Amino acid sequence: MKIAVLAVQGAFIEHEKKLEKLGAQCIELRKKENLEEDFDGLVLPGGESTVQGKLLKELGMFDALKEKIEAGMPVLATCAGLILLAKDLTNDDHRYFATLPVSVRRNAYGRQLGSFHTTEEFEGIGKVPMTFIRAPFVEKAEEGVKVLAKADGNIVAVQYKNQIGMSFHPELDEDDRIHQLFLDTVKKNDEIKMGVCICQKQNGI
């Protein structure tokens, strides 16, 4: 299983270490040519979403990645990554991939609570540690979006089809279960694609 990690800015190395620990192979997306390599899933890490969005376009990777996401490639997006996926930003005019039908507030906790740590329930996993750093949260999730976790009443993790987005940084804590959930999603998607290919061959398509 090969996972591509956006590596133009932000906390991408920590994601790579987690995924490799769980048995995945990682490649770094730094330039357009990296997209020529096959991969099964995508990680959009935390960092500065405005910088990441600008670099994705300047480096010629934006359109190809958006196409892959829209086609169903599994994505794990944390903090800035959630902002890149969001359909709408309630306090910012920028829009990026806009593939995840949620409204997100950037720097939602303000400067005083810019960084904090808590433990909350995550659907399908149980209680997980959550590290927030100048974090956004989801103000509104549209129909079809599954809420995976809340903190202080705010939505901080969601899933829509194969896109998993969260406000916090699971790569900074010892718990590996969220990354394992992502890899399970990738594996399931690969099995579905393989089944479709076999079916098409059998039918001569």
Maximum distance among all Cα pairs of the chain, rounded to whole angstroms: 62
* Amino acid identity at 105: R
What's the pLDDT score for residue 93? 87
Residue tagged active-site, from 14, 16, 79, 179: 79
CATH, domain range 2-202: 3.40.50.880
Nearest-angstrom CA–CA distance, 157 and 155: 6
| Domain segments of the chain as ranges | 2-202
Residue tagged active-site, from 169, 191, 197, 199: 169
Give residue 31's Cα distance to chain centre. Answer: 19
Residue tagged active-site, from 14, 15, 16, 171: 171
Look at the pTM and tell me if it is higher than 0.85.
yes
132, β-bridge pairs: 116
Q: Answer yes or no: 169 catalytic.
A: yes
Per-residue pLDDT of the chain (205 residues; tens, 9 = 90+): 999 999 999 889 999 999 999 999 999 999 999 999 999 999 999 999 999 999 999 999 999 999 999 999 999 999 999 999 999 999 888 899 999 999 999 987 765 556 899 999 999 999 999 999 989 999 999 999 999 999 999 999 999 999 999 999 999 999 999 999 999 999 999 888 776 555 555 565 5
19: enclosing H helix or E strand: helix 12-21
Give residue 168's Cα distance to chain centre. Answer: 11
What's the pLDDT score for residue 196? 57
Q: Is 68 exposed, middle or buried (0-12, 13-18, 19+ CB in 10 A)?
A: middle
